Amino acid sequence: MTLRSAPDRLLSVLAAFDHEHPALSLTDISRRAGLTLTTTHRLVGALTDWGALERDDAGVYHVGLRLWEVAALAPRGVALRQLALPYLEDLYEATHENVQLAVRDGSDVVYIEWIAGRSSVGVHIRVGARWPLHATGVGLVLLAHCEPWEQEEYCATPLAVFTPYTITEPAKLRRVLAEVRRTGVAVSSRQVTDDALSVAAPVCGPDGKVVAAVSVVVPQADAQVPALIPAVRLAALGISRALGWQPTVPPRSGAGYPSHR
């Protein structure tokens, strides 16, 4: 039996919490973390004392505000959200549809901001949500600007299926990624749900590397893609400029994200 290190056990306690399990009892944490109840009690106590976890009156644990304070220091998290928000709001006012901002983390896209349209198509997105790169517009943009070896590594893995329209063939995914690089935008239709279409564009950092992607999600049935593309591009350009990117620096692949190999 492989002995788990102290940091591994500590992180497994935090990893027990997710969007489906935001509140857990000590027994729940022990089971989901794969730890004995005694070890869990000790680690949870330390995390609670530090502020990473909080215990309510019913004895149930929640993620603590101290973790939010630390997470706010991440350059691809709260800081990017705050800088991008005015441009996301402009995109929302121009479309009144769902607007999203996302970054890549390994083989996933992680949503760091989302503005919901009042009467727009329903989406399975929330801040902090993860989806496979190939299944979303923002994910296709980010994958298209990975290093070639990362794209090939991704294409070599099984591609998750959500609808009959989800890209599942590596050859097709390669063609789509080439088209994204050629046009500068990604159009993802009915890949996660069969009633939604997204248009996404890359956000560049000061050195031209693609660091994020912005998108608008609309009902597939009446999507006006030619009209949406300029609006999404303008929002992405505004965020890129705010990050220090200059039009003289062409967008580059290889954003230096962790590949989690």
pLDDT digit string, tens, across residues 102-116? 999 899 998 888 888
Question: What interhelical angle do 6-15 and 37-50 show, nearest 10?
Answer: 80
pLDDT at position 3 over 70 = no
How many Cα atoms within 13 Å fall on the side-chain side of residue 21? 15
Domain boundaries, the chain: 6-70, 78-242
Cα–Cα distances in angstroms (integers) from residue 73 to residues 14, 66, 105, 126, in the given order: 18, 12, 17, 20
Q: Note every long-range contact of 18-23, with CB atoms under 8 Å and residues 24 or more positions apart, other chains counting.
A: 19/126, 19/128, 19/129, 22/62, 22/63, 23/56, 23/60, 23/61, 23/62
The pLDDT of residue 114: 85
The pLDDT of residue 247: 78
pLDDT at position 227 over 70 = yes
pLDDT digit string, tens, across residues 147-198? 999 999 999 999 999 999 999 999 999 999 999 999 999 999 999 888 889 9
Cα(113)–Cα(102) distance, integer angstroms:
7
Return the CATH number of the domain spanning residue range 78-242. Answer: 3.30.450.40
Strand partners, 111: 102
pLDDT at position 260 over 80 = no
Share of the chain above pLDDT 70, in %: 87
**Are 98 and 116 spatial neighbours (Cβ–Cβ below 8 Å)?**
yes
Cα(84)–Cα(212) distance, integer angstroms:
10
Return the CATH number of the domain spanning residue range 6-70. Answer: 1.10.10.10
The pLDDT of residue 220: 83
Vertex 259: Cα angle to 255 and 261 (nearest 5): 160
